[in-house]
Amino acid sequence: ILNVEQSPQSLHVQEGDSTNFTCSFPSSNFYALHWYRWETAKSPEALFVMTLNGDEKKKGRISATLNTKEGYSYLYIKGSQPEDSATYLCAFYNNAGNMLTFGGGTRLMVKP
Amino acid sequence: DAEITQSPRHKITETGRQVTLACHQTWNHNNMFWYRQDLGHGLRLIHYSYGVQDTNKGEVSDGYSVSRSNTEDLPLTLESAASSQTSVYFCASGRGSGRHNEQFFGPGTRLTVL
């Protein structure tokens, strides 16, 4: 079983604040790293799939970076809005496995 | 529009009963997955399939089975439900190799085993 850690577990910010959180994964046998956004009472939705060391991806105010050599990815949200409140999940694929292993998620709450 | 659906959305059953949760997708994706979501554990993979007649065990497969007789459906069966299987179950699908491609999740089924 692969260990995928996310920190912090939860985060409260004010509207307009920028924030970031971390996903740590085994650096050996890296294949792909997924980020998902999961709103309460809904289903997870894909944000990014990242495969190359140094990858940077952006969707609106949300961006992500990937460091496969040291085994981490950062998710950044610029100018947080209340609608950004959700749990953000990362998930890791390695070379040997055929399945995504999810981290426990970071729960973001943005206060108006 | 293409979609992925799960049924039922809520189910209450008794210990020892057989339960089947349905998952249906209309994207014609080869890959389908079942996860369970529990507090403190995030999403954990139960079973997955990379095509018709292909099924594989995931991280927490004990007590569950799946079958893939067509592209669209991957039903999840609990042979003899246990209270430890009370959870929210999510089905997902994806195209291609799976590793480079995002997964699309269904709305979830909340199962309570009394």
A51 vs B43, B100, B108: nearest CB: B100
A88 interfaces chain B, CB cutoff of 8 Å: no
A43 vs B48, B50, B107: nearest CB: B107
Q: Which helix or strand (DSSP H or E) is residue B17 part of? A: none
Summarised one tens digit per residue, pLDDT across range B73-104 is 999 999 999 999 999 999 999 987 666 788 99
Please state, in angstroms and rounded to a whole number, the distance separating the CA atoms of residues A8 and A14. 16
What does the buried/exposed string (b/e) look like for A54-71 if buried means 16 or more CB atoms within 10 Å of the residue's CB? ebebeeeebbbebebeeb
Given the DSSP bridges, would you call strands A101-102 and B4-7 parallel, antiparallel or unpaired? unpaired
CA distance A33 to chain B (A): 8
**Alpha helix ranges (H) inside B1-91:** none
Enumerate the residues of chain B whose CB falls inside 8 A of the CB of residue A103. Answer: 42
User: pLDDT at position B39, please?
Assistant: 82
Task: Look at the alpha carbons of A77, A81, A83, A87 in this order and tell me if their dihedral is positive or negative.
Answer: positive
A90: phi then psi, degrees, rounded to nearest 5: -110, 155
Do the beta carbons of residue A21 and residue A106 sit within 8 Å?
A: yes
> Taking residues B62-71, what's their average pLDDT?
97
Q: What percent of chain A has pLDDT over 70?
A: 96
Taking alpha carbons only, the member of A53, A93, A71, A45 closest to residue B96 is A93
Do the beta carbons of residue A47 and residue A59 sit within 8 Å?
A: yes
Average pLDDT per consecutive 10 residues, chain A (112 residues; last block may be shorter)? 88 96 90 94 93 94 96 97 96 80 94 94
Q: Which helix or strand (DSSP H or E) is residue B106 part of? A: none
User: Largest alpha-carbon pair distance within chain B?
Assistant: 40
pLDDT over 70 (residue B60): yes
Nearest chain A residue to B47 by CA: give it.
Answer: A99
B70: Cβ contacts below 8 Å, ≥ 6 apart:
B52
Name the β-bridge partners of B25. Answer: B4
Summarised one tens digit per residue, pLDDT across range B3-48 is 999 999 999 999 999 999 999 999 999 999 999 999 877 899 999 9
User: pLDDT at position B98, please?
Assistant: 60
pLDDT over 80 (residue B63): yes
Tell me the Ramachandran region of residue A31: left when phi exceeds 0, alpha when psi lies from -120 to 50, beta otherwise.
alpha
User: pLDDT at position A95, please?
Assistant: 74
B89 interfaces chain A, CB cutoff of 8 Å: no
Of the two residues B61 and A98, the one the predictor is more confident about is: B61
A7 interfaces chain B, CB cutoff of 8 Å: no
Please state, in angstroms and rounded to a whole number, the distance separating the CA atoms of residues B96 and B77. 25
**What's the distance, Cα to Cα, between the start and end of chain B in Å?**
37
User: pLDDT at position A41, please?
Assistant: 87
